[in-house]
């Protein structure tokens, strides 16, 4: 099985077994090995210079799911890499879209 196939796998308890994607497996292994000595923290770092797209929704879902699964935090961090194209309407739209998707970031950061 390749990484692309693993990424598409979901928890499927109807089959009587639980499958996990490679990201979840990697986080779990790191926790078991004691690689990090702090809770899991994930982030979604959009640049507020446009609206979200389907790939953004997927990234939000993956990051929130991993944080939830490991009792961590899901954070929203607006990156400030192109301030000339940024607009407050995009910041508001991104926050509204994340809420519409059903997710609530625990920490909001602007960098």
Q: Whole-model pTM?
A: 0.77
CATH topology of domain 39-111: Rossmann fold (3.40.50)
The DSSP bridge partners found for residue 108 are 76
Contact at 8 Å (CB) between 11 and 20?
yes
- Say how far apart CA 28 and CA 90 lie, in whole Å: 34
Average pLDDT of the segment spanning 50-57: 95
Domain spans of the chain? 1-37, 39-111
For residue 12, what is the DSSP state? -
Q: How would residue 20 be classed by pLDDT, with cut points 50, 70 and 90?
A: low
Q: What percent of the chain has pLDDT over 70?
A: 82
Q: Is pLDDT at 8 greater than 50 in this prediction? A: no
- Say how far apart CA 75 and CA 108 lie, in whole Å: 6
Which pLDDT score is estimated for 50? 93
- Say how far apart CA 79 and CA 72 lie, in whole Å: 21
Q: Is pLDDT at 5 greater than 60 in this prediction? A: no
- Say how far apart CA 49 and CA 69 lie, in whole Å: 31
Q: What is the pLDDT of residues 70-111, one digit of tens each?
A: 999 999 999 878 888 889 999 999 999 999 999 999 999 887
Q: How distant, in Å, are the alpha carbons of 23, 32, 49, 50, 70 from that of 67?
A: 11, 16, 26, 26, 5
């Amino acid at each position: 099985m390749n990484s692309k196939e693993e990424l598409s796998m979901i928890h499927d308890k109807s089959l009587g077994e639980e499958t996990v994607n490679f990201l979840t497996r990697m986080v779990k292994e790191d926790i078991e090995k004691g690689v990090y000595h702090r809770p899991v923290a994930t982030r979604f770092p959009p640049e507020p210079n446009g609206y979200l797209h389907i790939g953004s929704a997927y990234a939000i879902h993956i990051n929130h799911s991993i944080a939830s699964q490991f009792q961590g935090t899901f954070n929203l961090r607006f990156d400030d890499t192109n301030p000339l194209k940024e607009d407050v309407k995009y910041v508001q739209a991104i926050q509204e879209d994340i809420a519409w998707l059903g997710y609530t970031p625990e920490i909001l950061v602007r960098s």
